[in-house]
Amino acid sequence: MIYDPLDIALMLAKIALVFFVILTLAAYLVFAERKVLAWIQDRKGPNRVGPFGLLQPLADLIKLLTKEDFRPIGADKWLFYLAPAMAAIPAIMIFAVIPFGAPLRLFGHTVQLQVADLHVGLLLFVALSSLAVYGVALGGWASNSKYALLGSIRGLAQLLSYELSMGLSLVPVVMLARSFRLSDIVAAQAGCWFIVYQPLAFMIFLISIAAECKRIPFDLPEAEGELVAGFHTEYSGMRFGLFFVGEYLNIIALGGLAATFFLGGWHGPLLPPVVCFSVKVLAFAFLFIWIRGTLPRLRYDQLMHFGWKILTPLALLNILVTAWWLVLRG
Amino acid sequence: MEAYLFYLLAAVTVIGTVLAITEKHPVHAIVYLVSSFFSLAAIFFLLAAPLIAMFEVIIYAGAVMVLFMFVIMMLDVGRSGDGLRPGLRQWLPAMLLAGVILALLGMMLAHGGWPAPGAGAAATLRDFSLTLFRQHGVAIEIISLQLLFAVVGALYFGKRRGP
Amino acid sequence: MKIVSDMTALLTGMWITWQHIFRRPVTIQYPEEKRTPYPRYRARIVLTRDPDGGERCVACQLCSAACPVDCISMQSAEAADGRRYAAWFRINFSRCIFCGLCAEACPTLAIQMTPDFEICKRDIMELLYEKEDLLIDGCGKSHDYNFYRHAGIGVTQPRGAGPKEKPPVDVRGLLP
Ligand code: SF4
Ligand code: SF4
């Protein structure tokens, strides 16, 4: 196969750009979360490092990098070292399929603002989010600690259950767009966003992704009130940092996907497409932070009941209704 | 380049599977098996069957193996590491099956191999679903009925009896 | 409808947190902004003197017995006129929790608490306050109290001359 060097260069540039943007965004999302939570609680939040505390992520990074890399006695060495990467890498890889802007024309080439426009993009996302379970499970198991093990068992059960409702809530989207390709899904929403046709699927997807990125009210795997820090109790330094950043990358990725599937991706009024898309992603991130500042944690049995007895049947029903509707409309 | 990638992935798959069989530690075995599934999925992708590749990852790596791991963690059998090596009696059926498969492979090779895969265009979603639900519709229905039975059975077993 | 009431409950919570985002923070930026503690705030401990300038502490050990973290220690001694005092008196402020039990236990109002809470030190040994560091020139919160004027052994006045004090009973006399 012959590749055009310009194509390769553009591809590499896109990858580098996406990497840079999402990593910075994740670091600042941590900062934003601390700030917004502080405001919600009538506090000021981090404001010491740099103007308005804007350099706080940098300070955190330095702190994490210089901390001791600790491994508890009896931990499974390789799995313990690998697990943080297993948690972070799927989160980063999801960004490969997200279209974050309208195609551009550069140097006589049409550049998709999307790293890989796979025609199974949606499935790749489901696959990657199902792989993200391994980081949680192995990290907790390999730590040789009771709290971590309990955290990862909870994480396993929770992620597995909510993956189901998440996948099912995406089926109507595929039925409407008639494609797994994310750019097709976005194109299908040029006229009307899918949230108008599928408010229920959107709600189910929203709840499921909150559970997927282990956010309050679904943060049972790391419930600090009961399990110290859950599956990453024993991690220190940058390995903990990877878990942490992976979680925030996940928020951005899932927010981006929610925008892509239900809110028309980069379609939007007035603003240029990339800005539209970023606004939607940031709105989702804010929503998650806001929810975290408001709601208490669910109990474990409530979580499981909600997932299996309410969300999954609802999603199935929604698929059925959508299918009938599509058939009757012809 | 595809050929090199294929051999690399094939090597990872085979080595991962062999390690998964010989590893005594269940959690490690799962990790080996998952990596082998993953490279298998990549091979499917190279063979222009991305749909199969994704299903491989979602179903096998993402669901089945995770359930295995869940059970191992819940029952805490992953800690011992002193499981017995399988004896000759356990090896025998596996050997038999492997022999049959190898013999079949050899026969196919002797008959002049098979057409090189990946020549056609990638199967689209539409083709895939048409084949699945038109040609094999009855099979799909039977399988889904079976799954329904399994679900009902699980519900029955899981029901709390008595007060 | 249960689901409606549940949703309203959730949304009410969200609305309240939304409002709080725009409230003024209650944080006080400590090293730059300071709040004046109340006069009866319980912080750094001092040993006070009576109105005549003598040490109030009679080294009775009650404070040290009352202290839950055992951070007060002393050695008692007696002067020629029968007045008891502490030969040395030590408070370990790295252990003190400012609970105020010592000040409550003290019968002579010698040990008292002040609102000065900024006593951080780089070296932990500097938090070991000796009698010289603790003793102040003043009466603290009670300006006219002198233990020896109410009870005592003829240190500030002849025995039986204090307020509300009866002359001593002659135990060798026969008459009641
Ligand atoms: S304030 Fe409490 S802890 Fe401190 S010296 Fe007095 S009794 Fe002890
Ligand atoms: S400070 Fe008060 S309680 Fe403590 S020894 Fe002196 S007189 Fe007694």
CA angle at residue B100 from B95 to B104, to 5 degrees? 145
- The count of CB pairs under 8 A between chains A and B is 72
Answer yes or no: do A294 and C29 touch at CB < 8 A.
no
Q: How many contacts, defined by CB atoms under 8 Å, are there between A and C?
A: 35
The answer to whether the beta carbons of residues C148 and C156 sit under 8 Å apart is yes
| Token representation of residue A216 | 């309050």
Number of compact structural domains in chain A: 1
Give how far Cα B157 sits from Cα of A106, B74, B161, Å: 62, 19, 9
For the question of an ipTM over 0.85, the answer is no
d(CA C176, CA C167): 14
Amino acid of residue A229: A
Q: For residue B5, what is the enclosing H or E element?
A: helix B2-22
The predicted pLDDT at position B83 comes to 56
**Residues of chain B found within 8 Å of residue A79, distances taken between Cβ atoms:** 27-28, 31
Domain ranges in chain C are 37-151
A118, A134, A141 member nearest B78 (Cβ): A141
Mean pLDDT value across residues C64-73:
92
* Residue of C10, C16, C21 lying closest to A39 (CB–CB): C21
Q: How confident is the model at residue B162 (pLDDT cuts 50, 70, 90)?
A: low
Cβ C14–A38 below 8 Å, yes or no?
A: no
| Interface membership of A290 toward C (CB under 8 Å) | yes
Asked if residue C101 has its Cβ within 6 Å of ligand 2, the reply is no
Ligand nearest to the CA of C47: 2
Residue of chain B whose alpha carbon sits nearest to that of A77: B28
Q: Which residue, by CA, sits nearest to atom 2 of ligand 2?
A: C106
**Residues of A54-70 as b/e, b for ≥16 C-beta within 10 angstroms?**
eebbeebeeebeeeeee
Chain A contacts of C26, Cβ < 8 Å?
42-43
Which DSSP symbol is given to C147? H
Q: What is the CA radius of gyration of chain C?
A: 26
A163 contacts chain B (CB < 8 A): yes
Classify domain B2-121 at the CATH class level.
mainly alpha
- Region B139-154: what's the mean pLDDT? 91
pTM: 0.78
Output the six-digit token pair for C165.
């004090």
Looking at CATH, the fold of the domain delimited by C37-151 is given as Alpha-Beta Plaits (3.30.70)
Say what the alpha-carbon torsion angle A17, A23, A26, A30 is, to the nearest 10 degrees. -140
- Which residues, listed in sequence order, are joined to residue A110 by a DSSP beta bridge? A105
- Residue in C with minimal Cα distance to A44: C25
pLDDT of residue B150: 92
Supply the mean pLDDT for chain A: 84
Angle at B115 between CA B109 and CA B118, to 5 degrees: 130
Nearest to A250 by CA among A168, A154, A132: A132
- DSSP-derived letter for residue C64 is H
Q: Does residue B163 carry a pLDDT above 80?
A: no
Q: C-alpha distances in angstroms, B77 versus A49, A237, B83?
A: 48, 30, 10
Using most ligand atoms within 8 A of CB, pick from C60, C89, C109, C142 the residue to mutate for ligand 2: C60
**If contacts are CB pairs under 8 Å, which of residues 39-98 in chain A contact chain C?**
39-44
* Region for residue A178 given its phi and psi (left: phi exceeds 0; alpha: psi -120 to 50; beta: otherwise): left
d(CA A32, CA A30): 5
Q: Give A39 to chain C, closest Cα distance, Å.
A: 5
For residue C47, count CB atoms less than 10 angstroms from its CB and return exposed for 0-12, middle for 13-18, buried for 19 or more.
buried
Tens digit of each residue's pLDDT (9 = 90 or more) over A181-221: 888 888 888 878 888 888 888 889 999 988 888 887 888 88
* B86 pLDDT above the threshold of 70: no
Distance from CA of C120 to the nearest CA of A (A): 21
pLDDT by 10s per residue, chain A, length 330: 556 777 788 788 888 888 888 888 888 888 889 889 899 988 888 888 878 888 888 888 898 888 888 888 877 788 888 888 888 888 888 888 888 877 777 666 677 777 777 778 888 888 888 888 888 888 888 888 888 888 888 888 888 888 888 888 888 888 888 888 888 888 888 878 888 888 888 889 999 988 888 887 888 888 777 887 778 888 888 888 888 888 888 888 888 888 888 887 777 777 777 888 888 888 988 999 999 888 888 888 888 888 888 888 899 999 999 889 888 887
| Number of the ligand closest to the Cα of C101 | 1
Q: Domain range spanning residue A66? A: 5-329
Residue C152: band (very low, low, confident or very high) from pLDDT cuts 50, 70, 90 = low
Report whether residue C124 contacts ligand 1, using a CB cutoff of 6 Å.
no
Residue A167's CB is within 10 A of a number of other CB atoms, namely 21
Contacts of A292 in chain C (CB under 8 A): none
Contact A44/C25, CB-based, under 8 Å? Answer: yes
State pLDDT tens for residues C81-130. 778 889 999 999 999 999 999 999 998 888 999 888 888 889 999 899 99
A and B make contact (3+ CB pairs below 8 Å): yes
